[in-house]
Amino acid sequence: MKIAMVGSGYVGLVSGACFADFGHDVVCIDKDASKIERLHAGIMPIYEPGLAELVDSNVRAGRLSFSTDLASSIKDAQAIFIAVGTPSRRGDGHADLSYVYAVAQEIAENLSNPAVIVTKSTVPVGTGDEVERIIRDGAPGLQFAVVSNPEFLREGAAIGDFKRPDRIVVGAEGEWERGVMTEVYRPLFLNKAPLLFTGRRSSELIKYAANAFLATKITFINEMADLCEKVGADVQDVARGIGLDNRIGSKFLHAGPGYGGSCFPKDTLALLKTAEDYASPVRIVEAVVRVNDSRKRAMGRKVIEAIAEAGGGEPRGKKIALLGLTFKPNTDDMRDAPSIAIVQALLDVGAELVAYDPEGMEAAAPLMPEVTMVKSAYEAVTGADAVVLVTEWDAFRGIDLERVGQLVNSRVLVDLRNVYDPAEVRAAGWHYSSVGRK
């Protein structure tokens, strides 16, 4: 099957490469000529484990190509995916749909063969109706259908998530487009991934509801973690104790510094806007957004308290080493990373900051110019008055804490991801604090 993927960002590129790997003939399109040029040279625009290899092998096999020319690339395509960005609109938090609509317009101007237009971008309820209207008005008489097919990929695990999904959601109103989408996903279908057909509006809402629910789960356990600290309980035990109940489930109950990234913050806000537009408030999600926002900065206060409790006094002039900056491991993405608020909170009290992140420093540097970026975790901790684990990269899990202990000025460790064993670390002479544990 011939597939055109409009938008070669995170979602478009991963999905395009995976579809090609299933044996489809895929062209990934992007307006950004330098991105396409780099892709031709095998240079990925993002860091995602396994992506470069997957792209390379499918390009070699002749199943995957790249282009800046939408008009010629959508010729003969049976499915045209729209996978462009839908950032938060400046000022009001609504999803900015201008890129999606511009692509719909361009498709309308250039499409001549029957095709299913698939919205993969995260778009508010009703966007499919508007895409359909734009194409119908621009290309009257053309056989086409617009379907919704949200993605559930996690950065850092996107290829695995694409190839072994819990479910594939397709919002399609007619038989013909359902048939085309079944063909698109046949290889996964054979792997028994449930293909769930719904109406288009339900599918659009499923994406937001899923992200809002996961954000709620995280925020719930984060507040439980705060309570655990106050009452002398252990949030890891609480999470396990509730997660073993299948109705709750054990995933996304890991307490931390608050969720970040390009999806949860943006999508929860956009859902609030939709709810507002329809005068149907989602108060739980409103609370989640507020609690999560204030949590990130509160993590800075946690570091300040840890220094004081260890007898280090005021944070002014103290050297604090940050291990990890990205919003989570295995990505170079800094969007809405908790580290940004933590850095600000610590700079505000006059601390001196040094950081190391395996992949994120290039993206982080312009966001936090006052922070000194160094080339290794050991370099970062040298002479530090406190070490803060912000992002749980594997490299930090296995760090040699004895060596770190010899390099630091003072053995204060704040573990915002509960990576280390409190008893072990304390036995090694550290003043250790983590999230939701005694």
Q: Which stretch binds ligand UGA (CB under 6 A): 41-49, 56-64, 69-77, 246-254?
A: 246-254
What contacts 421, CB < 8 A, 6 or more positions away? Answer: none
Residue from 136, 154, 163, 186 in contact with ligand UGA (CB under 6 A):
154
Size of the site for ligand UGA (CB under 6 A): 21
Minimum gap (Å) between residue 24 Cβ and ligand UGA? 21
Residue from 211, 216, 410, 433 in contact with ligand UGA (CB under 6 A):
211
Footprint of ligand UGA on 264-293 (CB under 6 A): 264, 267
Query: Is 263 among the catalytic positions?
Result: yes
Query: Which of 18, 28, 228, 263 is flagged as catalytic?
Result: 263
| 436 near ligand UGA, judged by CB under 6 A | no
**Residue 133 or 163 with smaller CB distance to ligand UGA:** 163
| 431 near ligand UGA, judged by CB under 6 A | no
x/- string (CB under 6 A) for ligand UGA, residues 57-96?
A: ----------------------------------------
Q: Which stretch binds ligand UGA (CB under 6 A): 70-78, 258-266, 311-319, 340-348?
A: 258-266
State which H helix or E strand residue 20 sits in. Answer: helix 10-21
CA atoms within 13 A on the CB side of 399: 29
| 151 near ligand UGA, judged by CB under 6 A | yes
Residue from 9, 12, 128, 256 in contact with ligand UGA (CB under 6 A):
256
Report the distance separating Cα 222 and Cα 256, nearest Å: 6
**Residue 211 or 410 with smaller CB distance to ligand UGA:** 211
Any idea of the CA torsion for 18, 159, 334, 345, to the nearest 10 degrees?
160
Single out the residue of 406, 410, 407 nearest to residue 432, CA to CA: 410
Helices (H), 367-400: 377-381, 394-397
Q: Are residues 156 and 328 in contact, defined by beta-carbon separation less than 8 angstroms?
A: yes
DSSP state of 172: -
Minimum gap (Å) between residue 122 Cβ and ligand UGA? 6
DSSP state of 420: S
Report the distance separating Cα 32 and Cα 64, nearest Å: 18
Residue type, 27: V
**Residue 208 or 430 with smaller CB distance to ligand UGA:** 208
What is the sign of the dihedral through the CA atoms of 334, 26, 66 and 140? Answer: negative
Q: Which stretch binds ligand UGA (CB under 6 A): 20-28, 139-147, 187-195, 254-262?
A: 254-262
CA atoms within 13 A on the CB side of 155: 19
Residue from 152, 220, 393, 396 in contact with ligand UGA (CB under 6 A):
152
| 252 near ligand UGA, judged by CB under 6 A | yes
Report the distance separating Cα 230 and Cα 242, nearest Å: 19
| CA-to-CA dists, residue 241 to 103, 141, 419, angstroms | 48, 59, 19
**Residue 25 or 161 with smaller CB distance to ligand UGA:** 161
Minimum gap (Å) between residue 216 Cβ and ligand UGA? 11
| 213 near ligand UGA, judged by CB under 6 A | no
Residue from 19, 101, 162, 259 in contact with ligand UGA (CB under 6 A):
259
**Residue 30 or 267 with smaller CB distance to ligand UGA:** 267
**Bridge partner residues of 115 (DSSP):** 144
389 φ, ψ (degrees, to nearest 5): -85, 110
**C-alpha of 40 from chain center:** 25
Minimum gap (Å) between residue 268 Cβ and ligand UGA? 10
| CA-to-CA dists, residue 125 to 57, 92, 201, 277, 289, angstroms | 37, 17, 5, 11, 20
**Residue 253 or 380 with smaller CB distance to ligand UGA:** 253
**Which residues are part of the catalytic machinery?**
263
Q: Which residues would be at the binding site for ligand UGA (CB under 6 A)?
A: 122, 151-155, 211, 214, 218, 252-254, 256, 259-261, 263-264, 267, 327-328
